Structure 1
Amino acid sequence: MLLAVAVAVLAVALAVAVAVPALRHRLVRSALRRAGGRYRRRLEALDSDVRLRQERRLRRLLGTGSGAAGGWEEFQERHPLGQPCRDEAPGVPLPPLRLWALLPGCRDSDPRLQGSLLYLDALRAAFPRALARRGTALLHWSPGWPRGPAGWPLPTLYCTPAAAAVVPSRAAALRVQLLFALRQRALHVLEAGLAAELHDALVALRTEWPRLAQELELGRLSPQPGLPDEVREQLQALLSPAAARAAELRAECARGFEGIVLRLWPRLEVVVVRTMCGTERLYCDSLRQAECQGLPFYCPFYQAAGALLGVNLWPAEPAPRFVLCPDWAFCEFLPCLASKEPRTVLLDELWEGREYGLVVTAQPGEYRCHTGEVLKVTGFHKQCPVVEPVRRESQTLSVRGESIPEEQFFQSLCRTLSMWPGARLIDYVCVESSLLGDSSGPCAPHYEVFLELQGLRDLSEGQRYKLDQCLQEDFPTYKSFRFKGSIGPLRLHLVRPRTFTRLREALGSPVPMPRVLHEEQLLRLIQGAVIS
Structure 2
Amino acid sequence: MSLNYVMLCDSYVPGLDKGKGLYFLFVKSETKTPGGLLARPVLTSYYKSDHFKTRPYDPYNVYTSPNEAILCPDSFQSMYTQMLCGLYDRQQVLRVGAVFASGLLRAIRFLQLNWPQLVQDIRTGSLNPRITDPSVLECLSGIVRPEPELADFVEAECGKDNWEGIITRIWPNTKYLDVIVTGAMAQYIPTLDYYSGGLPLACTMYASSECYFGLNLNPMSKPSEVSYTIMPNMAYFEFLPHDPDSYSAGFNRNSTNPPKLVDLVDVEIGKEYELVITTYAGLYRYRVGDILRVTGFHNSAPQFHFVRRKNVLLSIDSDKTDEAELQKAVENASQLLREYNTSVVEYTSYADTKTIPGHYVIYWELLVKDPANAPSQTVLNQCCLAMEESLNSVYRQGRVADNSIGPLEIRVVKNGTFEELMDYAISRGASINQYKVPRCVSFTPIVELLDSRVVSVHFSPSLPHWTPERRR
Alignment pair present for 1:310 and 2:265: no
What is the RMSD computed on CA atoms of the aligned residues?
A: 4.1
The amino acid across from 2:435 in the alignment is S
Query: Alignment partner of 2:15: what SS?
Result: coil
2:122–2:148 Cα contact (<8 Å) kept: yes
TM normalised by structure 1 equals: 0.57
**Distance in 1 between the 2:25 and 2:416 partners?**
36
Match of 1:295 among 186, 190, 199: 199
Match of 2:278 among 328, 346, 361: 361
Other-structure match for 2:335: 438
**Distance in 2 between the 1:212 and 1:298 partners?**
29
Other-structure match for 2:190: 285
Q: How does 1:95-110 map to 2 (within 5 A)?
A: none
Query: Alignment partner of 2:118: what SS?
Result: helix
The change in CA–CA distance for 1:386 and 1:153 in structure 2 (over 3 A counts) is farther
Question: How far apart are residue 171 of structure 1 and its match?
Answer: 3.4
Other-structure match for 1:139: 24
Match of 1:236 among 140, 155, 159: 140
The amino acid across from 1:146 in the alignment is S
Q: How does 1:172-183 map to 2 (within 5 A)?
A: 172-183=77-88
Alignment pair present for 1:130 and 2:49: no
**Distance in 1 between the 2:123 and 2:302 partners?**
51
Question: How far apart are residue 446 of structure 1 and its match?
Answer: 4.2
Could you tell me which runs of 5 or more consecutive residues in structure 2 were left unpaired when the two chains were aligned: 31-43, 248-257, 315-319, 356-408, 439-449
Question: How far apart are residue 234 of structure 1 and its match?
Answer: 2.0
Other-structure match for 2:107: 201
Structure number with greater CO (CA < 8 Å, separation at least 6) is: 1
Other-structure match for 2:67: 162
Other-structure match for 2:401: none
**Distance in 2 between the 1:458 and 1:347 partners?**
44
The change in CA–CA distance for 1:196 and 1:202 in structure 2 (over 3 A counts) is same
Q: Percent identity?
A: 23
The amino acid across from 2:212 in the alignment is L
Query: Alignment partner of 2:10: what SS?
Result: helix
**Distance in 1 between the 2:413 and 2:260 partners?**
48
**Distance in 1 between the 2:93 and 2:277 partners?**
37
- CA deviations on 1:89-144 (whole Å, 9 max, x unpaired) are xxxxxxxxxxxxxxxxxxxxxxxxxx7233122111111122224x1112011146
- CA deviations on 1:293-339 (whole Å, 9 max, x unpaired) are 12111121101343111001112112232100111111110001396
Query: Alignment partner of 1:193: what SS?
Result: strand
TM normalised by structure 2 equals: 0.64
Could you tell me which runs of 5 or more consecutive residues in structure 1 were left unpaired when the two chains were aligned: 1-114, 398-405, 410-428, 484-489, 510-532
The amino acid across from 2:79 in the alignment is L
Question: How far apart are residue 460 of structure 1 and its match?
Answer: 8.7
The amino acid across from 1:337 in the alignment is D
Q: How does 1:237-386 map to 2 (within 5 A)?
A: 237-238=141-142, 239-255=144-160, 256-273=162-179, 275-288=180-193, 290-319=194-223, 320-337=226-243, 340=247, 341-386=258-303
**Distance in 2 between the 1:305 and 1:318 partners?**
25
**Distance in 2 between the 1:464 and 1:270 partners?**
47
The amino acid across from 1:132 in the alignment is K
**Distance in 2 between the 1:440 and 1:324 partners?**
50
> What number of residue pairs does the alignment pair up?
351
Question: How far apart are residue 356 of structure 1 and its match?
Answer: 0.5
